[in-house]
Amino acid sequence: MVMGTELLFMFSPFLVVVFGLLAEKLSISKLREGVAIILSGFSLFSVYQLYAQWQASPSKVLVVTLGGTPPLGACFEIDMLGIYMAFSATLLGLFAVIYSVNYMAHDTRLTEYYTLLSALVVSIVGVSFAGDFFTLFVFWELMGITSYVLVAFRKESWGPIEAGFKYMVMGAVGSTLLLMGIAIVYGMAGTVNFAQISTALRGQPMSLWLYLVFAVLVVGFGIKSAIVPMHTWLPDAHPEAPSPISAMLSGILIETALYGFIRVLYLIYEPGAFSLPITVLAVATMVLANVLALLQQDLKRMLAYSSIAQVGYMLVGLSAGTAFGIQGVLLHVFNHSLMKGLAFLSAGSLIHNANSREIDNMKGLAKTMPITSLTMFVAMMGLGGVPGTNGFISKFILFSSAFGVGLWWLGLLGVLNSALSMAYYLRFLKTLISRPKEAVSGLKEAPSLMLGVTVSMATLVILFGIWPEPLISYASEAARALFNNNYIKVIMP
Amino acid sequence: MANDLVFIGAIFTMVCIGLYCVTQKSMIRILLGVEIILNAGNFAFVYFASYRVIEGFVDPLGQTLALMSIILGGSVIAVGLALIVNAYKQFKTTEVDEMRRLKW
């Protein structure tokens, strides 16, 4: 048990509000941006400090209780899995905040924007650290509310409002169904603490209620993680949001929902249970998303469909049900957060200049924006899984885990889908370097701060592609945290 | 036993009514549908809590959770209403059909 002063960064949205209002009143330019960047960096550093504490702890899990001991008090369960997710979220959050400084410079209501963005990062960290359903649900709703508002942030035009409303209705129905699932679990186990639920329910013979819980969990978590057929909000919401928010949503939010699903699934059921339904969902998600992505004319919409396809690849690792498969899932979560974040941020720069989201209007942009086009190239190669980028490593582990448990056809389908996805990536890259209809003039490269973010992310994509060992070891440590019962041993000695 | 059937039936009916409302055309009705499903969840918590009696009292945990989720649900509905207000300002309507420009 630790005190958890490292968790103070969770209050950073309040500081952003205070400094933002101060900056507005005294009209100090760039104060609130500076504070937001510093606080994002501080969050990243705090997660590192938590990692150091976790390494030093003998039980390999840190428990922070809030207001009494379980089952009545809420608590944070900080194991390697949570730290891994929190690290991905805070890293991408830092990149998104730095990128926003230039990208959002012409928008109004920036105090709200930075507050909501940092609250989104904090809520994702909260979901990753949650040690009981109560904490999970509170942060889950915070994550939902902040992202609904951020999607509809540019409320002057029709697109964001419609997409935001659609996202809100689907997300709210999903989280209420999740609430229903929590209620059933509470009715069966009499507690909402993860460790106590696990001791009470895991290994029980399957009953009608347990099947019902699984169905509700699939829908509740599946809506947020955009598993086909519950994906319909995503292709609207992600393109309509400002680009840094698209990067956050596609890069980490849908993966956090998947993380919640995996965590709860392994809590209540034996590892490898429900392999068949998850396999069906994985196949449907991969195939449908890739085919629909091929048909898109809108760059961000295409990237949004590609995100759904990536969730499908992650489900392949989950349906394998082994520690190796989960390791692949986690590795792909981090790699995808970098790649898709990079793709959306580069797309943001391109759209900013081309003043259109249509792919056809971006012909010849590579001439005027060489560096952004290069980072886009790296991101798309990574998403397609080309060797030398980090996407190859994680996809290799994901698909070989499917081969390892005898689901060879699933692995093969994954590889074929991956090849299919290259078609739409290459189509876009070809557009970038093709000759424009009329000569473009007046376009210039993105501002240096935006370029700095995209170039450093592209460097990370390549770096983890040729030197993946540390990342693989962290991911395997995180996957092991799901299978050993350290948390149960700490809560119920 | 008879009580259980009544409660479970009530929860199930609330979910069904809510899902029906969500498929309607008016944005306000959709939001009300969300609220009804949410309250079905809260109801389920209170119902399951009544099963667990600790020292002569009903388990407070379920009730606490229901209270908390009422607050959270209220915030979600507030966001939804804000979106509806913005939609009305722009389209002068709250019918979903008339603002369906994105592909559903």
DSSP string, A312-346: HHHHHHHHH-SHHHHHHHHHHHHHHHHHHHHHHHH
In terms of CA atoms, which chain B residue is nearest residue A240?
B102
pLDDT per position as a tens digit, A332-353: 999 999 999 999 999 999 998 8
Beta bridge partners of A74: A66
pLDDT per position as a tens digit, A73-109: 788 889 999 999 999 999 999 999 999 999 998 888 8
pLDDT per position as a tens digit, A113-155: 999 999 999 999 999 999 889 899 999 999 999 999 999 999 8
Q: What is the pLDDT of residue A345?
A: 95
The mean pLDDT of B64-87, rounded to a whole number, is: 92
In terms of CA atoms, which chain A residue is nearest residue B48?
A187
The mean pLDDT of A442-469, rounded to a whole number, is: 90
Q: What is the pLDDT of residue B82?
A: 93
Q: What is the pLDDT of residue A435?
A: 81
- Whether B15 contacts chain A with CB within 8 A: yes
- Whether B32 contacts chain A with CB within 8 A: no
pLDDT category at B1 given cuts 50, 70, 90 is low
Residue type, B93: T
- Whether B92 contacts chain A with CB within 8 A: no
Are A414 and A313 in contact, with CB atoms under 8 Å apart? Answer: yes
Q: What is the pLDDT of residue A491?
A: 82
Cβ of B42 within 8 Å of Cβ of A138? The answer is no
| Domain range for A52 | 8-489
pLDDT category at A4 given cuts 50, 70, 90 is low
CA dihedral A353, A358, A364, A367 (to 10 degrees): 30
The most distant pair of C-alpha atoms in chain A lies apart, rounded to whole Å, by 73
- Whether A159 contacts chain B with CB within 8 A: yes
Are A322 and A285 in contact, with CB atoms under 8 Å apart? Answer: no
The mean pLDDT of A221-233, rounded to a whole number, is: 92
pLDDT category at B98 given cuts 50, 70, 90 is confident
The helix/strand/coil state of B58 is strand
The mean pLDDT of A202-214, rounded to a whole number, is: 89
Residue B102 confidence (pLDDT) above 50: yes
Question: What's the angle, vertex CA A80, arms to CA A79 and CA A81, rounded to 5?
Answer: 90
pLDDT category at B104 given cuts 50, 70, 90 is very low
Residue A2, in any domain of the structure: no
Indicate the number of domains in chain A: 1
CATH architecture type of domain B2-92: Orthogonal Bundle (1.10)
pLDDT per position as a tens digit, A288-314: 999 999 999 999 999 999 999 999 999
Query: What's the mean pLDDT when you consider all of chain B?
Result: 87
Beta bridge partners of A77: A63
Higher pLDDT, A18 or A272: A18
- State how far residue B67 is from chain A, nearest Cα, in angstroms: 12
Interface test with chain A among B7, B21, B69, B88, by most A beta carbons within 10 Å: B69
Q: Tell me the CA distances in angstroms from A39 to A13, A21, A130, one per residue in order.
A: 9, 16, 22
φ/ψ of B58, rounded to 5, equals -70, 140
- Whether B50 contacts chain A with CB within 8 A: no
Q: What is the pLDDT of residue B51?
A: 81
Q: Tell me the CA distances in angstroms from A266 to A70, A180, A203, A259, A411, one per residue in order.
A: 20, 19, 11, 11, 22
How far is Cα A233 from Cα A170, in angstroms, rounded to an integer?
7
In terms of CA atoms, which chain A residue is nearest residue B37?
A176
Query: What's the mean pLDDT when you consider all of chain A?
Result: 91
pLDDT per position as a tens digit, B25-74: 899 999 999 999 999 999 998 888 888 887 778 888 888 889 999 999 99
Residue A1, in any domain of the structure: no
Q: What is the pLDDT of residue A439?
A: 63
Cβ of B44 within 8 Å of Cβ of A183? The answer is yes
- State how far residue B56 is from chain A, nearest Cα, in angstroms: 16
The residue extents of the domains of chain B are 2-92
How far is Cα A256 from Cα A331, in angstroms, rounded to an integer?
13
CB < 8 Å to B100, chain A: 162
- Whether B36 contacts chain A with CB within 8 A: no
Least confident of A219-223, A282-286, A480-484, B80-84: A480-484
Beta bridge partners of B26: B95
Residue among A390, A379, A387, A306 at smallest CA distance from A342: A379
Interface test with chain B among A165, A292, A300, by most B beta carbons within 10 Å: A165
Residue A405, in any domain of the structure: yes
The mean pLDDT of A50-69, rounded to a whole number, is: 86
Q: What is the pLDDT of residue A442?
A: 66
Higher pLDDT, A438 or A56: A56
The mean pLDDT of A361-366, rounded to a whole number, is: 85
Give the whole-number percent of chain A exceeding pLDDT 90: 70
How far is Cα A84 from Cα B63, in angstroms, rounded to an integer?
33
Cβ of B84 within 8 Å of Cβ of A165? The answer is yes
In terms of CA atoms, which chain B residue is nearest residue A137?
B69
Residue among A160, A286, A147, A170 at smallest CA distance from A221: A170
DSSP string, A158-190: HHHHHHHHHHHHHHHHHHHHHHHHHHHHHHHHS
- Whether A144 contacts chain B with CB within 8 A: yes
CB < 8 Å to B85, chain A: none
pLDDT category at B92 given cuts 50, 70, 90 is confident
- Whether A443 contacts chain B with CB within 8 A: no
Q: Tell me the CA distances in angstroms from B28 to A26, A166, A168, B14, B93, one per residue in order.
A: 40, 13, 13, 17, 11
